Amino acid sequence: MKKESSISEFLKKRNAKRFSIFLAIAFVFLVFSKLSTDYKQKIKLEPNLINYEDEVMLLNDSLNEIEAFVEAKGFSLIPFLFKDSKTIVLDANEDVVSRPDHFIFDVQKHKYLIEAQLGQSYNVLSLKPDTLTISYSKRASKYVPIELNTDISFSSGYDTFKSIQLNVDSVKVVGAMSYISKIKSISSEQFRKQDVNNNIDEDIKLVKPTDVEIFPDVVNIKAEVKRFTEGKIEVPVSVINKPNDISLNFFPKTIVVSYYVDLDNYKKIDKTSFVVECDYNEAIDNQSYMISKIVNKPEFVKRVIIKQNRIDYIKL
């Protein structure tokens, strides 16, 4: 008896399992059939305007919506179960007409644009309203210089070949006039690098003041880093602006110039690379010396120091 009872229970469970499988398959076919059916539904289209001027500030308006009556398969309408609207992109340079305080979008004229962005799965039956008005206001703007905030140290014997360069030297600040009138410059976030021995090429963010926008808000910083060395050379001294009726004897006739240059250009340096002059007009009365100055040096030389800038003289 126990054995017969066990067989009966096994068959009942097996039949119940089969019934559940058939029920699940039937449900799947039913859902698939429903989703394959065409439905008509109203959906909201929210415009996203792009490529308008930096000074333009779009005003929030809940009426800035397009009501589209569409026909589509159930599969295509599933996303609208979770979100009742879809964004469409409008180009301010191509799709709208600009007025002093608003943009006008001709909805009916641009039906093709809406259909293209919705996709081939949707058949647009009607659109409301005929035209859409997108209100805006204009903000004041001006350009201000960038203040680079850096903390850079170089490995021994390395330095920048030229000064650090930014891809732009100024940025546009946009906002209420009361705010931007107080802004004289825009600072970068601190750019910190230690023991640098390679070229620098990185983007850094700018610090945005409160209640204004800046364009761009990221800039690129570049610097060519090379190996440097110090050199010394003896350079002749010349006197300028000496009256023709005065004869001078001055000494020393040459002075030692120390310079800091990259290794690639080190061999290009000779005594003609620097011009050292004393201006007689700058000599102080009752003093028997002039001050020498370097008036010309190669562009690739980083720093120049005169070991002795006092030139003594006597009138003959």
Beta strand pairing call for 218-223 and 56-58? unpaired
Number of domains in the chain: 4
Q: Do 115 and 57 fall into the same domain?
A: yes
Q: Do 21 and 46 fall into the same domain?
A: no
DSSP H or E run through 97: strand 97-98
CATH of the domain at 201: 2.170.120.40
Q: Do 72 and 5 fall into the same domain?
A: no
CATH of the domain at 241: 2.170.120.30
Alpha helix positions (H), 82-176 = 111-118
Strand partners of residue 97: 104
DSSP state letter for 55: T
Domain that holds residue 153: 140-223
Q: Do 151 and 110 fall into the same domain?
A: no
Q: Do 242 and 293 fall into the same domain?
A: yes
Q: Do 211 and 258 fall into the same domain?
A: no
Per-residue pLDDT of the chain (316 residues; tens, 9 = 90+): 545 555 555 445 555 566 566 555 655 444 454 545 788 888 899 999 999 987 787 877 656 899 999 888 877 777 777 777 889 999 999 999 998 889 999 999 999 999 999 888 889 899 999 999 998 877 888 999 999 999 999 999 999 998 899 999 999 998 878 788 889 999 999 999 999 999 999 999 999 998 888 999 999 999 999 999 999 999 999 999 988 888 889 999 999 999 999 999 999 999 899 999 999 988 887 788 999 999 999 999 989 999 888 999 988 7
- Residue of 295, 285, 289, 283 whose CA lies nearest to 241: 283
Q: How many residues does the chain have?
A: 316
Among 111, 138, 165, the domain boundary falls at 138
pTM of the model: 0.53
**Cβ–Cβ < 8 Å for 269, 299:** no
